[in-house]
Amino acid sequence: MTHPAPIPWKPKSSRTDTMNTATLTREESRTDLYPSRGGMQSSIVPRTHPVVWAPAGTPAPVDQALISQYERDGFLVLRDVFSPQEVANLQAELDRLRHEAQADERPEIVTEKGSRQVRSIFKVHELSAVFARLAADQRLAGLASYLLGEDVYLHQTRLNYKPGFHGKEFYWHSDFETWHIEDGMPLPRALSISIALTDNTPHNGPLLVMPGSHKHYVVCEGETPPDNYQMSLQAQEIGVPSDENLHRLASEGGLVDTAGPAGSVLIFDSNLMHGSNSNITHLPRSNAFFVYNAVSNAVQAPFCQQPPRPEFIATRRNVSPLKIRSNRAEDFLPS
């Protein structure tokens, strides 16, 4: 397993406008171009859509070499995106929300299996003005808009805490397989950005990725049970690739951990194969996690025989372009 050094953050501009491209027709959005589960046999098929959707000639917000690396590998780790003061302010809000969540029973709060330790808080941009501002930050949303080639909205947001000694693993999976089958996302025109709010070390359960795996779609076996999200948010067992397919992808692309100090940012394609180990150290690994989807790629009816997942997991009602903004450290002071 390799441990690449995070790349310093060097934005080329503060571009905050967005681009428009043709949208899918209703008929096109209901064509299942990436079937999985439902009696299908496990397999690996080529991805048939772009990774970088920006029209040719569009100025990139970061060096073009980074865009090429993202297209090839399916992910980037950038360090020093957020200053120590910004991180300190965000950590204070992170701790405030965790403290409140420990005494709350909201469905947006997911605890670790077998304990009351907070694992995740979903829809965090609606629970916290601080994280709403962070999600719209031009360093994140501006880059997402460029890579996806148009206006974006927040498909999902959450805080992942992964507490020391108790933070459990996330097994290997492609987000897009789940978002397509269970949410009805038509195409892999989405990406995730994870902001390290504590140091992510090689030892405290950082995200592991398989470089290049985003260019393959992995068909999974099995049926989608009712309310599968209630189990999958604690431990993913449905929509999991076969051992043989995971072995093939890992043999071809290798395994890379995405560790980086607090203030680092991980950007990864929705179809990238990823997972993480349990955190058996004393060091928490807490990240803010935002999923950006192209407005034209808004979710439809699920591609399985189940009703849509709840709004706090997959946005359906407020599919409107995100208003990208520039922030200062004081904008992240706790609410």
pLDDT exceeds cutoff 70 at 9: no
Beta strands in the chain (DSSP E): 7-8, 43-46, 75-79, 109-111, 118-122, 152-160, 170-174, 190-196, 207-209, 216-219, 256-257, 265-269, 273-276, 287-294
Dist CA 64 CA 80 (whole Å): 19
CB 53 within 8 A of CB 19: no
What contacts 235, CB < 8 A, 6 or more positions away? 113, 168, 171
Please tell me the predicted confidence (pLDDT) of residue 119: 87
Amino acid of residue 332: F
248-249-251-252 Cα dihedral, nearest 10 degrees = 110
pLDDT-based confidence at residue 61 (cuts at 50, 70, 90): very high
What contacts 168, CB < 8 A, 6 or more positions away? 112, 113, 119, 234, 235, 278
Count how many residues are written for the chain: 335
**Distance between alpha carbon 51 and the CA centroid of its chain, in Å?**
15
Please tell me the predicted confidence (pLDDT) of residue 7: 62
pLDDT-above-70 percentage for the chain: 88
Return the SS3 of 181.
Answer: helix
Q: Which of 216, 213, 206 is nearest to 279 (CA)?
A: 206
CB 36 within 8 A of CB 219: yes
Average pLDDT for 294-313: 93
Please tell me the predicted confidence (pLDDT) of residue 14: 41
User: Could you give the domains of the chain?
Assistant: 68-330 (2.60.120.620)
Please tell me the predicted confidence (pLDDT) of residue 318: 86
pLDDT exceeds cutoff 70 at 20: no
Longest dimension (CA), the chain: 52
CB 28 within 8 A of CB 189: no
Please tell me the predicted confidence (pLDDT) of residue 15: 39
Parallel, antiparallel, or unpaired: how do β-strands 7-8 and 75-79 relate?
A: parallel
φ and ψ of 125, to 5 deg? -70, -15
Please tell me the predicted confidence (pLDDT) of residue 271: 98
Q: Tell me: the pLDDT tens digits for 235-278?
A: 566 778 999 999 999 999 999 999 999 999 999 999 999 999 88
Please tell me the predicted confidence (pLDDT) of residue 113: 73
pLDDT exceeds cutoff 50 at 19: no
Return the SS3 of 227.
Answer: coil
Please tell me the predicted confidence (pLDDT) of residue 226: 76
Question: Can you name the residues that pair with 196 across neighbouring β-strands?
Answer: 287
Q: Quick one: tokens of 230?
A: 């209630």
Average pLDDT for 179-207: 95
Between residues 280 and 113, the one the model is more confident about: 280
pTM for the model: 0.90
pLDDT-above-90 percentage for the chain: 70
Torsion sign across C-alpha atoms 159, 140, 324, 314: negative
Between residues 188 and 230, the one the model is more confident about: 188
Between residues 114 and 146, the one the model is more confident about: 146
Q: Tell me: the pLDDT tens digits for 205-222?
A: 899 999 999 999 999 988
Q: Quick one: tokens of 266?
A: 């991980």
| Residue 331 burial class via C-beta count within 10 angstroms: exposed 0-12, middle 13-18, buried 19 and up | middle
Amino acid of residue 252: E
Return the SS3 of 249.
Answer: helix
Please tell me the predicted confidence (pLDDT) of residue 233: 56
CB 189 within 8 A of CB 297: yes
Return the SS3 of 282.
Answer: coil
Parallel, antiparallel, or unpaired: how do β-strands 287-294 and 152-160 relate?
A: antiparallel
Please tell me the predicted confidence (pLDDT) of residue 39: 85
Q: Quick one: tokens of 151?
A: 């206006």
Please tell me the predicted confidence (pLDDT) of residue 5: 52
